[in-house]
Structure 1
Amino acid sequence: MYIAHVRELDKEIQPVNAHLLGVQRLAEQFGGKLGLKHVAGLAGLLHDLGKYSDRFQQYIDVVAFHPEWPQPKRGEVDHSTAGGRLLFSLLHHKESTFCEKLLAEIVGNAILSHHSNLQDYLSPEIKSDYLRRVQDTNLPEYELAVERFYQDTMSEEELIHYIHTAVDELEKFTNRTPEQSFFLTKYIFSCLVDADRTDTRCFEEQIEAEESTDHLLLFDTYYRRLIDQLATFKGKNNPSERINMLRAQMSEQCDVFATERPSGIYTLSIPTGGGKTLASLRYALRHARKYKKQRIIYVVPYTTIIEQNADEVRKILKDNEHILEHHSNIIEDESNGLEDGDEADDGLITNKEKLKLARDNWDSPIIFTTLVQFLNVFYAKGNRNTRRMHNLSHSVIVFDEVQKVPIHCISLFNEALNFLKQEAHCSVLLCTATQPTLEGVKHSLLKDRDGEIVPNLSEVAKAFKRVELIDHTKVPMTNETLADWIHDEVHGWGSTLVILNTKSVVKDLYKRLKDGPLPVYHLSTSMCAAHRKQKLEEIRHLLDQQIPFICVTTQLIEAGVDVSFKCVIRSLAGLDSVAQAAGRCNRHGEDVSRNVYIINHTEEAISRLEEIKVGKDVSSHVLARFKKKADQYEGNLLLPKAMSEYFRYYYTRMETNLNYYVKEIDKEMTKLLMSLSQENDYVTHYQKKNGTRFPLILNGSYKTAAEHFKVIDQNTTSVLVPYGGGKELIAQLNSGAWLEDVSKFFRQAQQYTVNLYSQEREQLIRDNAIVTHLDGMIYELKENWYSDEYGVDLKGEGGMDFMGW
């Protein structure tokens, strides 16, 4: 018996052939969703072929059964290269067809990389990690491993037949473009990684197979519950009856559109306060039932929206079990510098390995996640991210507040959505009152023609007009003058929301206001999700009771948070942000009209926040034009005409930023990933350097791109904080007991984590404010460094809040 894994608990052995065939079966299921059953299955079948070597068998024997002996260096035996080399030797010759070579490159790269990141076919150093692995890496027992594979798992004749079937599938699928080839490689990689982790986890947990949920049956139930809930809204008397009628009309339009139009990329441009969450849910459930989609995924810009929308959906659908909130990774994939990545699987399933195997693959029927996590699936390093990709196929994907896609990720975002629409059988819904013109940029979004669900948008927006924008930018303001103005006027305004552009000025203004006559609330991304949720519940209570108070916050409240203030003050930013801020004022038409003041704040440090800075400049330009010719905008800056003009100017100003630029290597990300050979200067350099044609079809620098990709400018690390239920989770970690249900722990921990920038994390580590658990895989923040007012407190004064100091 050849050993693939050894269970640490009872030293039970999983044979290599059982693991290979188990991963093959799962990968076939995942790949079959795109008609690529055998392409993905081939990756599963060959991924651990190298474990048939004597070196690996001796290695696992020592590690698992002889801990008293001198232990070999972890990962010193390369077991990932052999399968990729076998494919290359069988399929990559001068006489091979295009699809045979493409199959060897796509599947081979997945096999080589299944414990690391996809390899570069050609790197900025004009080297091919892929070619080095399949041609040059020293594998002294390669032939022995292949012979044992043929004897123990699948005969050579059977494998050749299987490969031919995979080639046929690829010929039907491929359009031979570099864009499709990149996403196809990532997809097959995703199928393999998830299948490998899942089969290993099933062996570890001693279960036969993953339990599957009948999502379509659930969607039927959900749809009935949603319709029942919408019917109760109709029967309620409300002072804003006209708005409720419009909401009902738009909801019904979503229902009809969902069944009449096939899967594609569509827009839902409901004005703020128009019931976008429930209308988009109605579209998603109806479309999923009609076109047999496997899941519904909500992608939002901020975690604050996840909290509110997921709660709202849970209450209406009456289901807490099948709705996943995915804020961020509680643990991150490690990179410990070993060249070929085999360190992640030495065959012994330790507690640390169990964490990595935890079910974190987005297989829930309804998922709420963030733009950061969505983009990471396609472009970030770490196979924990890529593992989820195959579960995006055959989905309805709803992007809430799509205008918040970071400017440098626009091209990459568009390319990912185009793949999901054209190849992965997804229906994509772009939801926002401030619809960006993504179809007008270089890497354009392939929106469907006549794809707006709500007709007569301008008339609908006029009907939803509930505020007056007051341009108060002529006299610049500091926090001191702003605080004085608020103190003078707030009693006349009533409940007042102040939104500024940076956390530092928000915190300073809060301190200036909190000793005044009215209650003052502070919201920040330095608070964990559960903390913000508690603060928002208190805020909504005061709003319901019509008690005057002040809330000071950053833009986190703008998108998707259902609150309605009497007055809003917004520091000048992009017109879309101003419009979203206006949506938090008189949201449900309680009054005929209320004021939203736009101010010019002079103390915000935005010189390095280019998107805010340029948005502010373009908004100033539009405001100036509006003053001169308001009739050209139908007298309202919140109508679609002004918004379209704003985004045209904005994307023109930011044109060089739309295509993610990697300054370290002077290259655009799309060119690293998706360029034809004749357009790739790396290929030209290779051919000059070597005096020969570049031998591969693919030339992407996949590993290099992943290492440089970041949705936000700075990397962040999730830390578990001592707030509410987070204290119980921390106590569980500190008890020393093993986490029996790791996946459940991760789900619970989502509500009690804060993402720290690297400099914040390093400062807290220096101050001994962070405790690590499970070999440094989970971070815990000590209690004194978490404040009831501010969240994470870098000064370590948070404990004073709890003691009443």
Structure 2
Amino acid sequence: MKYIAHIRESDFENQWVEVHLLGVQKLSETFGNKLKIRHITGLAGMLHDMGKFTTAFLEYIIEAVHHPEISRKAKKIDHSTAGGRLLYHFFHTGKILREKGILAEIVGNAIISHHSYLHDYMDPELKSPYLYRVRDKQEVIDFDKSVQLFFKSVMSEDEFQQYVNEAVNELKRFLDIPSTFTREKKCMFLTKFVFSALVDADRTDTRRFEEGITEEDEKTPCTKRLFQTYYDRLMVEINHLANVGRESRSDINQLRQEMSEQCDQFARRSTGIYTLSIPTGGGKTLASLRYALKHALDSGKKRIIYVLPYTTIIEQNAAEVRRILEDDAHILEHHSNVIEDDQDDETDETEEGTKNVRQKLKLAKDNWDSPIIFTTMVQFLNVIYAKGSRNIRRMHNLCEAVIIFDEVQKVPVSCVSLFNEALNFLKDYGQSTMVLCTATQPALDFVEHRLHISPDAEIIQNLTQVITSFKRVEIKDEASHKSYSNESLTDFIQVKLADKRNMMVVLNTKSVVKDLYQRLSSTLDIPVYHLSTSMCASHRKEILDEIRNLLDRKERLVCVSTPLIEAGVDISFQCVIRSLSGLDSIAQAAGRCNRNGEEEIQQVYVIDHAQEDLKHLHEVRKGKEISKQMLIDMRLNPNVHGGHLLSLQAMRGYFQRFYLDVSTSLNFNVAALNVTMTDLLFAGYENNRYYQSYFENIKQSPPLFLVNSYRTAAEHFHVIEDKTTSVIVPYGEGKNIIAQLNGAERIEDFSRLMRKAQQYTVNLFPYEIRELDVNKGLDICLDGQVKVLKDGAYNEEYGVDLENDSWTGGFYF
């Protein structure tokens, strides 16, 4: 009898189980080579669907294709437990060899979880969901028969034992790599990497079968040749700008050229974690791209990933890079998951035979395998720590990469430790080079779970002198001695506009931004613009383009914005007003003033806004307190903090005090469980709360080498405090995308439309979703998988027209 893994929807062609297992094994081995663990990942690939070697599954999948309305009501067939159970019975019972036991737990967890998310070895209820699946679960149909058929059809038992021995040797070498990581930390990252490789291999092999294509059909160009072409095109642009700079005899242009050349020279350094502290307006985008391409060529990196805090910067930088490199096909923008996958669970695992919308979306190519990727900090952190197989699927592609963290100071406080550990893993084990790229470097090496920044890490030489040369603004303290309302701020703006053509005002919350915009619109006789995260990315881009056009023509205008405009947006105003916040935010806002040194020194006014409600914005409130004290210090003694607020000394001192003040929050507290995320993921026997409680209650250790709580941690992880939902809005092309999604049939159509939809989404909080529901402002498409806004719920001025005092902690993803 032949056993079926999948039946193609278009022509009812069968994919046999052994063909699928060997195909996934091959892909998994390829992905595992990045960590030199090809047999470990290959073991997961060859065993993941072993449970499909059963008559029950064969009957189910045939019924699912021909009678889907009946099969959806039928009892689901568990086919993912069998592979993990085989490893447990072979290598985790009787006389257990330590490394084989750990291997069985790591690979077995990935196998039993490949339709959902990694299981806890020990959970808050002091139970082991992992052990339940591989040891205790009763409803594992024809397990012994599946084992026999596996050894008959896929690999003989002798060959299998030899393959496992190779995997054990790889595990030993991996655990012996010199590092400050504990065994638990090494095993956590290893388990997630194996899981990532398996999920991507499984979905890739299934998608290729469903679309009737082969690996050869998807061959991408040689990365080394592609990067060389990119580098040559970039140098044409840089040389052109250098010639323009020489003609204008601009000191700033000369400095930009020198820093760009320093990036090129520094790229010869080995894999590591480095800092690129180019001042605002110093040509950071092109300089970092030059470094990344040169380093990738010299060290054989496979991709370049830009991680940014705002989609506004993604669109701007990606468009610039596409123009220079003359390539659209190989540059990916990934803003957000339009469809969340945290609903994945074991009940999905047999619905693949029905090829419903949800399954097609799962198979869509969404694994970050492009040569150049632009994404957000939220998405980067979600890849490693958030629940959902769509997130973790991308993790293996973070290895052998150059990763540029633009505006790295925007890492949320609660995620600092997790961010640092992720980067340490990618450097020490994943052979990736990270560059922390910002004019306001945070002190990430100052905290408990510190970042292992390489020695002599700064790429730019004589940084203090460079910062002095780039000085184009002066900070005017309007905050340490008085406060403003929107009414008095309107008066203040009118006074300053007597001498200035244009002005940018950055406030901390959406409600005060909207109110000030309305006041100014009704008061001033010049154009006034509004920007906030209630507007989709495409909408914001159009507004920014209009503003830039007016600025280029030297016309009068005012822009009122939430902080989204201040990190990396290439725009320059004569005057900036910034509501008091963290020193890094003030410095970034200052970077939008006289950005290119067009005029003499210009002013950035820092005000204390009395009407901003910061009770839910803890980081903003804490940063505001420290910055205000620094302003008071300088009012009393102008020579402190390096003599000015934008000095290296001031920034380093600010971040050290900031991280000291919030030190209890850096490890991501899970309030509901009274435990930290780092404890759930990294704690060993001696300090693992659940293990200790189990031992006290049972008076013996659980039969496990690993006792961490991966699923519990993922379920509680969120980069921003309140989880948001992506909603497609009917703005511009968004209307057509919504219509096309409802008619899409092919997997590749879903992939294309999902990527396109990212520029037409907003992220809404639960209360906003509820309010829209009540007001009939929401609709759904794709069998309820995607939420969309109705026409009346999106405003051409404000975007989603709801009052909301949050701005997602500084991120729009």
Which residue is equivalent to 1:380?
386
| C-alpha distance 296-206 of structure 1, shift in aligned 2 (>3 A) | same
- For residues 705-729 of structure 1, the C-alpha deviation after alignment (integer angstroms, 9 at most, x for no partner) is 0000000011111111111211221
Q: How far did residue 332 of structure 1 move?
A: 1.3
Q: How far did residue 753 of structure 1 move?
A: 1.3
| C-alpha distance 501-66 of structure 1, shift in aligned 2 (>3 A) | closer
- Say which of 665, 673, 678 aligns to 2:673: 665
| C-alpha distance 51-213 of structure 1, shift in aligned 2 (>3 A) | same
Q: Is the 8 A contact 1:80 1:342 kept in 2?
A: no
Q: Is the 8 A contact 2:99 2:172 kept in 1?
A: yes
Residues in 2 aligned to 1:216 and 1:94: alpha-carbon distance in whole angstroms: 50
Residues in 2 aligned to 1:553 and 1:472: alpha-carbon distance in whole angstroms: 19
1:195-594 residue pairs with structure 2 within 5 A? 195-209=201-215, 210-236=218-244, 241-259=250-268, 261-335=269-343, 340-343=346-349, 345-473=351-479, 474-515=481-522, 516-594=524-602
Unaligned runs of 5+ in 2: 177-181, 804-813
SS of match in other structure, 1:440: coil
- For residues 6-63 of structure 1, the C-alpha deviation after alignment (integer angstroms, 9 at most, x for no partner) is 1222221111111111100100100111101010000000001111122212211221
| C-alpha distance 740-398 of structure 1, shift in aligned 2 (>3 A) | closer
Q: How far did residue 75 of structure 1 move?
A: 6.3
Which residue is equivalent to 1:129?
129
Q: Is the 8 A contact 1:240 1:590 kept in 2?
A: no
Which residue is equivalent to 1:798?
none
SS of match in other structure, 1:272: coil
Residues in 1 aligned to 2:81 and 2:353: alpha-carbon distance in whole angstroms: 16
Question: Does residue 1:119 correspond to 2:119, yes or no?
Answer: yes
Q: Which amino acid aligns with 1:507?
A: K
Q: How far did residue 160 of structure 1 move?
A: 1.1
- For residues 186-234 of structure 1, the C-alpha deviation after alignment (integer angstroms, 9 at most, x for no partner) is 0000000000000000000000123233221111011011111011111
Residues in 1 aligned to 2:412 and 2:713: alpha-carbon distance in whole angstroms: 17
Q: How far did residue 653 of structure 1 move?
A: 0.7
Q: After the TM superposition, which of the residue ranges 462-471 and 694-703 deviates more from structure 2? A: 694-703
Residues in 2 aligned to 1:76 and 1:116: alpha-carbon distance in whole angstroms: 14
Residues in 1 aligned to 2:49 and 2:64: alpha-carbon distance in whole angstroms: 18
SS of match in other structure, 2:603: strand
Q: Which amino acid aligns with 1:180?
A: K
- For residues 676-731 of structure 1, the C-alpha deviation after alignment (integer angstroms, 9 at most, x for no partner) is 11111211111222222222111110010000000001111111111121122123
Residues in 1 aligned to 2:100 and 2:745: alpha-carbon distance in whole angstroms: 51
- For residues 399-431 of structure 1, the C-alpha deviation after alignment (integer angstroms, 9 at most, x for no partner) is 000000000000000000000000000000001
Which residue is equivalent to 1:801?
none
Question: Does residue 1:8 correspond to 2:9, yes or no?
Answer: yes
| C-alpha distance 208-737 of structure 1, shift in aligned 2 (>3 A) | closer
Q: How far did residue 464 of structure 1 move?
A: 0.5
Question: Does residue 1:158 correspond to 2:146, yes or no?
Answer: no
1:8-87 residue pairs with structure 2 within 5 A? 8-67=9-68, 70-71=70-71, 73=73, 76-87=76-87
SS of match in other structure, 2:374: strand
Which residue is equivalent to 1:803?
none
Residues in 1 aligned to 2:232 and 2:621: alpha-carbon distance in whole angstroms: 46
Residues in 1 aligned to 2:110 and 2:606: alpha-carbon distance in whole angstroms: 52
Q: Which amino acid aligns with 2:146?
A: A
SS of match in other structure, 2:595: coil
Residues in 2 aligned to 1:700 and 1:73: alpha-carbon distance in whole angstroms: 35
Q: Is the 8 A contact 1:436 1:644 kept in 2?
A: yes
Q: How far did residue 76 of structure 1 move?
A: 1.6
Residues in 2 aligned to 1:501 and 1:698: alpha-carbon distance in whole angstroms: 44
SS of match in other structure, 1:428: strand
Q: How far did residue 621 of structure 1 move?
A: 1.3
Q: Is the 8 A contact 2:360 2:747 kept in 1?
A: no
Q: How far did residue 66 of structure 1 move?
A: 3.9
SS of match in other structure, 1:620: helix
Number of residue pairs matched? 791
Q: Is the 8 A contact 1:75 1:345 kept in 2?
A: no
Question: Does residue 1:701 correspond to 2:709, yes or no?
Answer: yes
Residues in 2 aligned to 1:269 and 1:639: alpha-carbon distance in whole angstroms: 12
| C-alpha distance 636-736 of structure 1, shift in aligned 2 (>3 A) | closer
Question: Does residue 1:193 correspond to 2:199, yes or no?
Answer: yes
Residues in 2 aligned to 1:364 and 1:81: alpha-carbon distance in whole angstroms: 33
Which residue is equivalent to 1:168?
169
Q: Which amino acid aligns with 1:569?
A: I
SS of match in other structure, 1:604: coil
Q: How far did residue 662 of structure 1 move?
A: 0.1
Residues in 2 aligned to 1:545 and 1:568: alpha-carbon distance in whole angstroms: 19
| C-alpha distance 610-239 of structure 1, shift in aligned 2 (>3 A) | farther
Q: Is the 8 A contact 1:6 1:349 kept in 2?
A: no
Which residue is equivalent to 2:755?
747
Paired-residue identity, % = 54
SS of match in other structure, 1:493: coil
Q: How far did residue 321 of structure 1 move?
A: 1.2
Q: How far did residue 486 of structure 1 move?
A: 1.1
| C-alpha distance 74-311 of structure 1, shift in aligned 2 (>3 A) | farther
Residues in 1 aligned to 2:167 and 2:768: alpha-carbon distance in whole angstroms: 49
Which residue is equivalent to 1:799?
none
| C-alpha distance 297-128 of structure 1, shift in aligned 2 (>3 A) | same
Q: How far did residue 334 of structure 1 move?
A: 4.7
Q: Is the 8 A contact 1:326 1:367 kept in 2?
A: yes
Residues in 2 aligned to 1:315 and 1:691: alpha-carbon distance in whole angstroms: 66
Residues in 2 aligned to 1:309 and 1:736: alpha-carbon distance in whole angstroms: 30
- Say which of 628, 634, 638 aligns to 1:626: 634
SS of match in other structure, 1:565: coil
Q: Which amino acid aligns with 1:283?
A: Y
Root-mean-square deviation (Å): 1.6
- For residues 369-415 of structure 1, the C-alpha deviation after alignment (integer angstroms, 9 at most, x for no partner) is 00000000010000000000000100000000000000000000000
- For residues 405-458 of structure 1, the C-alpha deviation after alignment (integer angstroms, 9 at most, x for no partner) is 000000000000000000000000001111011001000000001100112211
SS of match in other structure, 2:643: coil
| C-alpha distance 2-661 of structure 1, shift in aligned 2 (>3 A) | same
- Say which of 723, 728, 733 aligns to 1:715: 723
| C-alpha distance 740-265 of structure 1, shift in aligned 2 (>3 A) | closer
Q: Which amino acid aligns with 1:489?
A: K
Q: Is the 8 A contact 1:739 1:745 kept in 2?
A: no
Q: How far did residue 83 of structure 1 move?
A: 0.3
Q: Is the 8 A contact 2:741 2:750 kept in 1?
A: no
Q: How high is the TM-score relative to the length of structure 1?
A: 0.96
Q: How high is the TM-score relative to the length of structure 2?
A: 0.95
Q: Is the 8 A contact 2:387 2:711 kept in 1?
A: yes
- For residues 530-584 of structure 1, the C-alpha deviation after alignment (integer angstroms, 9 at most, x for no partner) is 1111111111111111111100001101110011100000000000000000000
Q: Which amino acid aligns with 1:505?
A: V
Q: Which amino acid aligns with 2:774?
A: R
Unaligned runs of 5+ in 1: 796-805
Residues in 2 aligned to 1:44 and 1:780: alpha-carbon distance in whole angstroms: 37
Q: Is the 8 A contact 1:75 1:342 kept in 2?
A: no
- For residues 267-311 of structure 1, the C-alpha deviation after alignment (integer angstroms, 9 at most, x for no partner) is 001111111111110100000000010000000011111011111
Residues in 2 aligned to 1:426 and 1:71: alpha-carbon distance in whole angstroms: 46
Q: Is the 8 A contact 1:265 1:447 kept in 2?
A: yes
